[in-house]
């Protein structure tokens, strides 16, 4: 009974999470539409383009709602324009009817989050509807860091949708099934009065601390004894809890016992009757038995024709059932393989009957997972062609695996296939070599017969079924290095593992600092050489793709800051319509990133030199610099004094000085004073305090501190150097 209740609760969890994952997948597909990006970035060339995009988005809204009727409502939120778009309206943030999700979005660390049940007053066709909804928030861009977010898509589903799924599974089971969050607040229940309450408010519920992980707990309360079954979701952290009174849970056992006892007595009585009746009515008991099923007379008394028809009906029903089972096998097989990849199924002995039923043959010892991905899907003619190539690659991979070991394949998405290889012997090195051989065969077969290329990621060999998930995750991570290594290759996790990524990051980050220095010097030749050196280092050390993008974005930001510090206006260099993060993220490989970075930085240098030529011929600043050379020893020399001397305002003189010399007045004055003091320090007879006064410092202590900061040495150390 306990196993049955846990299985039912697990079925409830699977049905709910299958629905949530489907909604999440639909949301991901929707948010990648180009019109969504235009709206969330908040940039339109004109009102006509904006209205055209709104019209297209309106159609997309309708399509998504039609495709998934579990969605109650959803809307797009743009951080740039502080506005929201629904299927029926466009509104500013301040006037929108539902903004209670905003705080969760602002503090959200990941890319998506399911919020607990909340009350909203939804406005639809002018009507206000009170609803309890569960909300999915997914940020845009999909994998953008928090500081680069442009907006979000917010999807609402009614809480009753989840409670109805619970009710579908629990039709014939007593007790109370709930969904709660990690803090114990009730998210979904068939009893709506329990919503927004803590589970401790229920007299029959155990303490929240007893519900860690998955299992069951028996407990006694004032109202009686109960058994609570519970599961914790790996997907969103929710807990699925079923509280059943023990008398109700044991009642089926009592009914079964009484039923069996009744059947036993009935069979005994029937046996006695048959003994007495068999000599006179040989077929009478059989006739009564079959009539009890058919409830009609199919032939004359004493005739067995109706028995023949009865058996034919049984055979026909069995054939129909077998046909339905055969048609369901592909879907069941896909679901089982995905459970292995996700780590949901880890017991080989328990899974063996399912493997046999679905025609899956795997050894129980060691496993390696490959992930095969079609290169440049966007260049393939139609989505149907992508689907056909994926299907063909899956079949080819399975045939090639069968020639080496036992295995199975599954189509993950259009253009991507997962391959599970199992080996009879525990030989990690040998098995890995066989997996590499199969991967090369698949790659070459696709290139030769399909005229396409694939990139293959390969995980390490792992023991037992639970190792399949680890190998699968490793193969996905290896596949990411396609960005660095290019298309049409096999990438093993061993090729990229074992190095210290932090050391790589700091080494390459140091090289990027040298690039920034060359931007400051506007040296295009050395810049090209340094970029070539940096990207050669990136290729040779297999830096993670996410780290490469992070380094490149930081390089651009630092370069922009260097130009800004020189007094240049950044608006003159940047295209407001271009999103630098999205542009780098869209690059297919390292060479594309390098080309974009090189072009961007060279353009910075060209514009800076043009600006510098315009600013270089300023006679006023030349006169100011000559004045500083003559009066640097005046301790009261200041920007105010200079402005008064040349008849200019202080802000204007400061801006003019920085634009022309690419430094500020104080730094220029300190440089002149320090260079003069170096000359004076060469005379050993001069005292330090005298030199300080000679270059404009009344305080010797201030002079020594500034000199050390400028040269790295104290005046005494400088004077005493060999």
Is pLDDT of 79 > 70?
A: yes
Task: For residue 124, name the pLDDT band (cuts at 50, 70, 90).
Answer: low
Report the pLDDT averaged over residues 360-365: 88
Range of lowest pLDDT (65-74, 185-194, 607-616, 705-714): 607-616
More confident residue, 423 or 517: 423
Which is more confident, 661 or 697?
Answer: 697
Q: Read out DSSP for 337-390?
A: HHHHHHTS---HHHHHHHHHHHT----SSEEEEEEEEES-GGGSS-HHHHHHHH
Q: Please enumerate in sequence order all residues whose Cβ is within 8 A of that of 383, keeping only pairs 6 or more positions apart, or say none.
A: 414
How far apart, in whole angstroms, are the C-alpha atoms of residue 610 and residue 278? 116
Q: What is the dihedral of CA 426, 428, 434, 438, to 10 degrees?
A: 110
Could you give the CA distance from residue 398 to residue 416 in angstroms, rounded to a whole number? 14
Helix or strand or coil: residue 49? helix
Rounded-to-integer distance, Cα 402 and Cα 421, Å:
9
- pLDDT value of residue 232: 92
The burial of 28, by beta-carbon neighbours within 10 Å (0-12 exposed, 13-18 middle, 19 or more buried), is given as middle
Nearest-angstrom CA–CA distance, 588 and 586 = 6
Specify whether the CB–CB gap between 412 and 372 falls below 8 A: no
Kindly state the average pLDDT of the residues 383-404. 88
Sheet containing 176-180: give its strands across: 186-189, 176-180, 239-245, 224-232, 215-221
DSSP 192: G
In angstroms and rounded to an integer, the radius of gyration of the C-alpha atoms of the chain is: 38
Per cent of the chain over pLDDT 90 is 15
In the predicted model, what is the mean pLDDT of the chain?
A: 82
Residues 6+ positions from 301 with CB-CB distance below 8 Å? 287
User: How many residues would you count in the chain?
Assistant: 722
In whole angstroms, what is the distance from residue 629 CA to residue 617 CA? 19
Minimum mean pLDDT range among 230-239, 328-337, 687-696: 328-337
What separation in angstroms does the CA of 380 have from each of 34, 283, 386, 411, 457?
19, 71, 7, 18, 21
**Residues in contact with 71: Cβ distance below 8 Å, sequence separation at least 6, in sequence order:** 23, 26, 64, 65, 155, 156, 157
481 close to 492: Cβ distance less than 8 angstroms? no
Residue 180: the pLDDT is 93
């Amino acid at each position: 009974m306990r196993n049955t209740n846990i299985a039912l609760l697990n079925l409830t969890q699977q049905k709910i999470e299958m629905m949530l994952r489907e909604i999440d997948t639909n949301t991901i597909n929707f948010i990648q539409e180009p019109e969504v990006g235009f709206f969330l970035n908040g940039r339109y060339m004109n009102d006509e383009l904006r209205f055209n995009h709104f019209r297209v988005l309106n159609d997309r809204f309708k399509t998504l709602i039609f495709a998934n009727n579990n969605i109650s409502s959803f809307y797009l939120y743009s951080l740039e324009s502080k506005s929201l778009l629904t299927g029926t309206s466009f509104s500013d943030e301040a006037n929108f009817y539902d903004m209670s999700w905003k705080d969760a979005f602002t503090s959200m660390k990941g890319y998506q989050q399911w919020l607990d049940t909340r009350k909203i007053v939804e406005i639809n066709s002018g009507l206000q509807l009170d609803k309890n909804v569960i909300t999915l928030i997914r940020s845009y861009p999909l994998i953008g860091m928090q500081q680069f977010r442009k907006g979000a898509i917010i999807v609402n589903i009614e809480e009753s949708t989840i409670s109805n799924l619970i009710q579908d599974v629990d039709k014939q089971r007593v007790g109370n099934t709930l969904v709660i969050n990690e803090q114990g607040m009730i998210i979904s229940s068939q009893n709506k009065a329990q919503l927004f309450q803590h589970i401790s408010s229920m007299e029959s519920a155990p303490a929240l601390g007893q519900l860690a992980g998955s299992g069951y707990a028996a407990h006694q309360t004032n109202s009686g004894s109960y058994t609570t079954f519970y599961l914790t979701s790996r997907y969103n952290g929710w807990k699925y809890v079923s509280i059943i009174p023990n008398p109700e849970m044991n009642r089926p056992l009592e009914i079964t016992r009484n039923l069996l006892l009744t059947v036993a007595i009935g069979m005994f009585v029937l046996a006695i009757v048959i003994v007495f009746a068999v000599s006179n009515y040989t077929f009478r008991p059989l006739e009564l038995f079959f009539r009890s099923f058919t409830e009609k007379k199919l032939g004359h008394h004493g005739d067995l024709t109706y028995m023949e028809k009865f058996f034919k009906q049984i055979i026909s029903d069995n054939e129909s059932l077998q046909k339905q089972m055969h048609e369901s096998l592909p879907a069941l097989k896909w679901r089982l393989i995905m459970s292995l990849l996700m780590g949901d199924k880890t017991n080989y002995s328990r899974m063996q009957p399912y493997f046999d039923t679905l025609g899956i043959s795997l050894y129980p010892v060691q496993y390696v997972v490959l992930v095969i991905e079609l290169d440049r899907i966007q260049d393939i003619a139609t989505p149907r062609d992508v689907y056909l190539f994926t299907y063909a690659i899956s079949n080819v991979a399975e045939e090639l695996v069968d020639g080496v070991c036992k295995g199975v394949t599954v189509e993950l998405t259009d253009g991507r296939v997962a391959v599970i290889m199992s080996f009879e012997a525990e030989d990690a090195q040998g098995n890995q070599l066989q997996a590499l051989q199969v991967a090369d065969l698949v790659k070459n077969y696709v290139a030769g017969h399909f005229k396409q290329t694939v990139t293959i990621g390969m995980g390490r060999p792992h023991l037992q079924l639970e190792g399949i998930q680890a190998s699968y995750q490793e193969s996905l991570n290896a596949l990411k290095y396609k960005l660095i290594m290019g298309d049409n290759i096999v990438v093993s996790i061993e090729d990229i593992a074992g190095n210290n990524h932090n050391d790589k990051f700091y080494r390459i980050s140091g090289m990027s600092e040298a690039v920034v220095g060359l931007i400051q010097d506007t040296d295009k030749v050395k810049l090209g050489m340094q970029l070539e050196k940096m990207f050669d280092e990136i290729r040779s050390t297999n830096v993670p793709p996410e780290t490469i993008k992070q380094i490149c974005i930081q390089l651009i930001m630092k370069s922009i800051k260097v130009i800004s510090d020189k007094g240049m206006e950044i608006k003159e260099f940047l295209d407001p319509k271009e999103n630098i993060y999205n542009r780098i993220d869209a690059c297919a490989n390292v060479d594309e990133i390098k080309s974009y970075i090189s072009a961007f930085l060279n353009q910075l240098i060209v514009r800076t030199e043009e600006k510098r030529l315009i600013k270089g011929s300023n006679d006023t600043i030349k006169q100011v610099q000559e004045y500083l050379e003559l009066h640097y020893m005046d301790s009261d020399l200041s920007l105010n004094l200079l402005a008064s001397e040349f008849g200019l305002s202080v802000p204007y003189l400061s801006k003019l000085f920085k634009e022309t010399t690419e430094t500020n007045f104080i730094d220029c004055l300190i440089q002149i004073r320090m260079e003069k003091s170096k000359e004076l320090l060469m005379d050993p007879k001069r005292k330090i305090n005298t030199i300080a006064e000679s270059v404009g410092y009344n305080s010797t202590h201030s002079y020594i501190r500034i000199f050390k900061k400028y040269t790295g040495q104290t005046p005494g150390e400088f004077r005493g150097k060999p």
